[in-house]
Amino acid sequence: METLYDMHCHLGFVPSPDATAKDGAEAGIGAFSCTVEPAEYEQLQLILADASNVALGLGAHPWWIADGRVGKTELARFCELARTTQFIGEIGLDFAGPRDTEESRALQTSAFACILAACNEPVSSLASIDPESAAATSGQGRTRTATTNLQASPPIGGAPVRSATDTAPKLISIHAVNAAAAALDALEQAGAFALHHVIFHWFSGTSDDLHRAIELGCFFSVGPRMLASRRGREYARQIPLGQLLLETDMPARKDDNLPAEVWRAELNNALSGIAQLKGIDRKALANQLSSTTRELLMR
């Protein structure tokens, strides 16, 4: 069975994250599971300690920042934890609806700048990973929080190889709603593209934003919900194969279940949809996306 990688999901939302991760491993699913606040990340580090198929992201979601659930104390904790992990997500900006106010934009922008600065700090301790072990081990091993094998080969996207005493390249999942240009500006100002691998999850910016992000070497995680819109389908068609990844962004709500058969079906739907849009063989696409994902996870 081919391994499918979900590069943006939320196992912290399911009632039993460890059982869901184990079922996913048995179904041939690897995952980059994002969190919305540092406390969730720390809880899941313990719960998913034996989930070898899961890379756990340290997150500070812009919704939580905008409404105060992630305040100064939580941001300070994020900055401490950022030095211990390779995986960051979900972070970003959201200037839609109730968050589209001058006060909210200023709060989010300031927090995002602090978060990106923290990501540039040297990593203090890292553990190696092997994302391909998902189906074989069925949950045995360690949750993927970091990697020490930084000098094995050059990272994807041109980021320089760095020693453990320097800033280690991170894998960063970005949320940007009505804020893609602002997010790209902040990432450029922080030097993120020279240091890290940036993934835009469910990209919804303008066409100009998309082409700018592509030129900057960003990756894009695409799922069924992105493909449900005409613009999302067109963007997926335009994104170069080497910068494409799969995602589900599931579950959508706290305490929703994510059965392995539903999880894999969502990934298969996204894979088939992209293959059709690009007019390429599904199997060839699966191999390409798996290769890209494995290289990103093993940095």
pLDDT of res. 164: 36
What local confidence, expressed as pLDDT, does residue 152 receive?
A: 27
Q: Which residues contact 48 (CB under 8 A, 6 or more apart)?
A: 11, 17, 18, 21, 33, 54, 56, 143
Q: How many CA atoms lie within 13 A of 276 on its CB side?
A: 8
Tell me what pLDDT residue 65 has: 97
145 contacts 49 by C-beta, under 8 angstroms: no
CA 221 to CA 77: how far, in whole Å?
27
**Residue 175 is labelled as binding a ligand:** yes
Other C-beta atoms closer than 10 Å to the C-beta of 110 total: 12
Residue 50, annotated as binding a ligand: no
Joined tokens for residue 11: 């196992």
Residue 21: closest CA among 156, 179, 139, 149: 139
Neighbours of 118 (CB within 10 A): 20
Q: How confident is the model at residue 167, as a pLDDT? A: 62
Q: Give the three-state DSSP class for 158.
A: helix
Joined tokens for residue 209: 């934003």
8 among annotated binding-site residues: yes
pLDDT in single tens digits along all 299 residues of the chain = 889 999 999 999 999 999 999 999 999 999 999 999 999 999 999 999 999 999 999 999 999 999 999 999 999 999 999 999 999 999 999 999 999 999 999 999 999 999 999 999 887 654 433 334 433 333 333 344 443 222 222 222 333 333 333 567 999 999 999 999 999 999 999 999 999 999 999 999 999 999 999 999 999 999 999 999 999 999 999 999 999 999 999 999 999 999 999 999 999 999 999 999 999 999 999 999 999 999 999 86
Name the helix (H) or strand (E) containing 56: strand 54-56
pLDDT at position 122, please? 82
The overall pTM is greater than 0.75: yes
CA 202 → CA 22, 156, 171, distances in Å? Answer: 26, 20, 16
188 annotated ligand-binding residue: no
Backbone phi, psi, residue 9, to 5° = -145, 180
HSE-CB at 36 with a 13 A cutoff on CA atoms is 17
Distance CA 291, CA 242 (A): 9
Sheet hosting strand 29-33, strand order edge to edge: 4-9, 29-33, 54-56
| Helix (H) / strand (E) containing 5 | strand 4-9
Cα separation, 296 vs 244, in Å, equals 12
3-state percent helix, strand, coil for the chain, nearest multiple of 5 = 50, 15, 35
Query: For residue 109, how many other CB atoms are within 10 A of its CB?
Result: 19
Region of residue 54 (left: phi > 0; alpha: psi -120 to 50; beta: else): beta
CATH no. for 4-297: 3.20.20.140
Contact 299, 38 (CB under 8 A): no
Look at residues 39, 72, 31, 76 and name the one whose alpha carbon lies nearest to residue 58. 39
Task: Please list, in sequence order, all residues whose beta carbon lies within 8 angstroms of the beta carbon of residue 183, skipping any fewer than 6 positions away.
Answer: 92, 93, 112, 174, 176, 200
